[in-house]
Structure 1
Amino acid sequence: MIEYLGLFGMILLCISWIPQTWDMIKTKKAYLNKTFILLYILGSGSLAIYSYWIKDTIFLALNSFIALMALLNGYYEMRMKWHIGKGRKHKAKKK
């Protein structure tokens, strides 16, 4: 019975990242602090490895998924900033 509570929590946490990631991809605007994203990736990645070692499937799936969502958010944030910075340099050269 207690496994169902863990599964329910895992589903809610995984679902919570989907709207944030979708909005970032759709609007091409990053809303999360870079330090938060980095710490979240490192923390959830570490917990995923730990979950693998202790053979806890629910926490392995949870932490792997939320680490992936944090990585996607970090990737899009860096990609957008690099793209914007590149565009500004390009405009400056035209003048």
Structure 2
Amino acid sequence: AASEQVSATSEELAGQAEQLQNTIAFFRLGDSDRRGGAPGAIDQTVKQLRDKAQAMSAAVKPKKGAASAKRGASGGFAFNLDDGADHNDAAFKRA
């Protein structure tokens, strides 16, 4: 649950970073070199945030096989109803 929350937060921050980048680009005056604002660096940072969020959300998905193995190891019985009659069935009659 915590990793899902971190993933969602990361995706939200990546979206906000992209929105902020678009807002800053609107007011850019052409002297971005003096301020050190390289548009390529911002794009790269946003891409890294998105990739990280995607990787985190992919790691969160549970595996179905692992859950069934846990249930099988907790006890119980495996019945094969297609085997037909055996020696114990002779004691029972159909009503």
Please report the TM-score for the alignment, with normalisation by the length of structure 1: 0.47
The structure richer in helix per residue is: 1
Larger radius of gyration: 2
Please report the TM-score for the alignment, with normalisation by the length of structure 2: 0.47
- Higher relative CO (Cα under 8 Å, sequence separation at least 6) belongs to 2
